[in-house]
Amino acid sequence: MDKNTGIGFVLIAAIVIGFTVLMKPSQEELAKEQRYQDSIQNVQAKQVKDDIKTADSADNASKSAVGEFFETNTQVSNDTVAVADSDSLAVNAFKQQSKAEQIVSLENEKIKINISSKGGQMISAQLKEYNTYKGDSLYLFKNDARFALELMNKKGVTLNTSEAVFRVIKSSGNEQTVVMRMNYSENQYIDFIYALAPDDYMVKFDIAVVGMQDMLSVDCLERFKLNWNQNLRRQEKSEKNEQRYARIHYKGTDGSFEELSDSHDESKEVPTGAKWVAFKDQFFASVLIADNEFTSPTLNTMMLQSEDYLKSYSASLYFKPTLGEKGALVGGFKYFLGPLEYYMLKGYDDGVKDNAQQLELDKLIPLGWSLFRIINQYFIIPLFNMLENTGMQMGLVILLLTVIVKIIISPLTYKSFMSSAKMRVLKPQVDELNEKYPGQEKAMERQKAVMQLYSQAGVNPMSGCIPMLLQMPILLALFSFFPSAIELRHESFLWASDLSTYDAIIEWNTNIPFISSWLGNHLSLFCILMTVTNVIYTKFNMDATNTGQQQMPGMKWMMMFMPVVFFFVLNNYPSGLTYYYFLSTLMTIIITLVCRWVIDEDKVLAKLEENKKKPKKKGFMARLQEQAEQAQRTQQQQKGKPSSTANKKKKK
């Protein structure tokens, strides 16, 4: 070390020592700092005491309710509470855990449920494979559902488990099974037992009431009561469409399937009992299924005015307990918490041969009335599922579905068009008859002549309507299928980001009277295209089927106005449905043009002229002609018959 470096170190040391001496606090400053630290410690200590007091109050409130039910005034301290498996649980651990809410999770590949020690109930159910329309994790419920067992003792005191503190007392080495126990003594307790199967949406749920048989009222021994409440969360973009399919459903013990209103508040008692009760929205449901049955359940639905919730559901469910091990009173149930996928729901009845024991959860999917449901179950859904399994984009699946349906009903379409062609080639002859019998006074003669012409030519004016009517069940079945097809959910095509909801091309926030109540605050592009093609087809079809006969006044404008009415009705419906109707109408126009190009109308007319020469059997047209002749004779008789007044004058 050289001389300059040594001098530098000496100077630095001198500066540090001098600074330390000068900055040393005085005795007065040290005392002030000590008082400040003491005040902080006092505040922290007070906060801890307040937290303990709050926890003790909540715990004591629960114990007070439980104690009153067990008909005792003895104060039970934390140190003397007897719990099952107490040998393996430290008393201090119990004291700490009983003052704070414990959350236990059960989870598999599809679902995650959280169970709280407060009430021993499920407080959330997350469907891991789905999201809301906003892209958030999808919860069927999350701190907005309540489930409680309600018991009554012989003195009329009620115990509701939502007021009680439960704790986890068993895991049995299985991560997917948990037992929540509400203890009063070692031999008096209530168990809620949850078991989640791997890769499934079904949760097994059992209730065991142990050591309470002697204190329960007679009515309570006959039936236990469950209170179930849930606020239905909004999951889809179209609130109006989701509201339309959100309902309480239940399967009666007599095999019936019923539902509560989707549009107004309703309360209903089911005296015949129920096998299961479902809180359902458009694509998802929470279903509580009894191993035996619910007796005389009372169900309530209430509309909510909220951006986040659609409805409030509640159910009072009664069940008769059975005798289990250790004399326990037991009730067995299952929770289905999941999506409404047809084949998955149908699979829960696989291997169940007894129809009475089948759950038939697939009835939760609204596929239309009996005939339409059969068409969907045995034709539309298998065909759609086969096309979907190819891995094609959903828009192409709907396109192919439309083509296949059109091919299947093409014979009916062709027959309808041939009937129109026959009527069209006879139009000049009908026009001649209209000129021969003009005016209202010759209407009956004109009608008779036209019917005679059709009969001679072998033409049935109704034959064009029958094929159209036969197509209607398929169209109406598809009207039920598309809004309930969860496969369309969040599937995009062209400009439509989600085929399970409307495809808005224009949106606004201002409420427009009448317009907003019917259309919502948007215009759907596929619905506009559907309407335009329907107007074109209606005009085209009216011209093609014009037979020259007089129509009711305003009928033409009424037919043109119908597509506009459908636009107002379907603007809020899923774009997958309006896309299908657009394709279907467009293909019908193309098929009609092809038929007009293929069919030689001169040959059709020649064939009809040949028919006039053949002897006719007494068929539909002959009967129509006879009716027209009879009506004409009746009219002539009425014209020729003098009035009663005239007869009296003549006698005088």
What is the C-alpha to C-alpha distance for residues 38 and 431, in angstroms, rounded to an integer?
111
What mean pLDDT do residues 395-405 have? 94
Beta-bridged to residue 295, according to DSSP, are 318
Per-residue pLDDT tens digits for 540-586: 777 665 555 555 555 666 777 888 888 988 999 999 999 999 999 99
Q: Compute the average pLDDT of residues 255-277.
A: 93
Distance (Å, whole) CA 59 – CA 464: 77
Name the burial class of residue 639, with classes exposed (0-12), middle (13-18) and buried (19+) by CB atoms within 10 angstroms of its CB. exposed
Total count of residues recorded for the chain: 652
In order of 293, 345, 567, 586, 588, the CA distances from 533 in angstroms are 52, 37, 11, 6, 10
**Rounded to an integer, what distance in angstroms lies between the CA atom of residue 115 and that of residue 103?**
6
* 457 or 9, higher pLDDT: 457
How far apart are the C-alpha atoms of 235 and 132, rounded to whole Å? 5
Provide the pLDDT confidence category of residue 27 given band limits of 50, 70 and 90: low
Q: Is 329 left (phi over 0), alpha (psi -120 to 50) or beta?
A: beta
**Which pLDDT belongs to residue 454?**
76
Kindly report, residue by residue over 484-504, the tens digit of the pLDDT: 999 999 999 999 999 999 999
> Phi/psi at 230 (nearest 5 deg)?
-155, 130
Query: CA-CA distance, 100 to 59, in Å (whole number)?
Result: 9
| C-alpha–C-alpha distance, residues 394 and 33, integer Å | 72
SS3 of 76, please? coil
The residues that bridge with 210 in the sheet, in sequence order, are 189
For position 43, what pLDDT does the model report? 44
pLDDT (tens digit, 9 = 90+) per residue, 420-476?
Answer: 778 777 778 877 777 777 777 777 777 777 777 777 777 776 666 666 777 788 889
pLDDT at position 81, please?
Answer: 34
- On whether the CB atoms of residues 612 and 456 are closer than 8 A, the answer is yes
Coil, helix or strand at residue 158: strand
Which of 175-184, 302-311, 552-561, 598-607 is least confident?
552-561
The arithmetic mean of pLDDT across residues 617-621, rounded, is 54
Distance CA 571, CA 559 (A): 19
| Between 511 and 525, the higher pLDDT residue | 525
Q: How far apart are CA 458 and CA 621, in angstroms?
A: 8
The tokens describing 148, both together, are 């409680």
Q: Which of 48-62, 391-405, 626-640 has the lowest mean pLDDT?
A: 48-62
Residue 75 pLDDT exceeds 80: no
Task: Name the residue with tokens 């396109």.
Answer: 399
118-149: per-residue pLDDT in tens? 999 999 999 999 999 999 999 999 999 999 99
* Three-class secondary structure assignment of 173-233: CCCCEEEEEEEEECCEEEEEEEEECCCCCEEEEEEEEECCCCCECHHHHHCEEEEEEEEEE
Helices (H), 458-524: 465-484, 515-519
pLDDT at 14 over 60: no
pLDDT for 143 = 92
Q: Does residue 79 contact residue 94 with C-beta atoms inside 8 Å?
A: no
Residue range 405-434: mean pLDDT, rounded: 80
Q: What is the pLDDT of residue 279?
A: 97
Backbone dihedral angles phi then psi of residue 407, each to the nearest 5 degrees: -65, -40
Give the whole-angstrom CA distance, residue 224 versus residue 628: 71
Closest CA to 526 of 508, 499, 488: 499
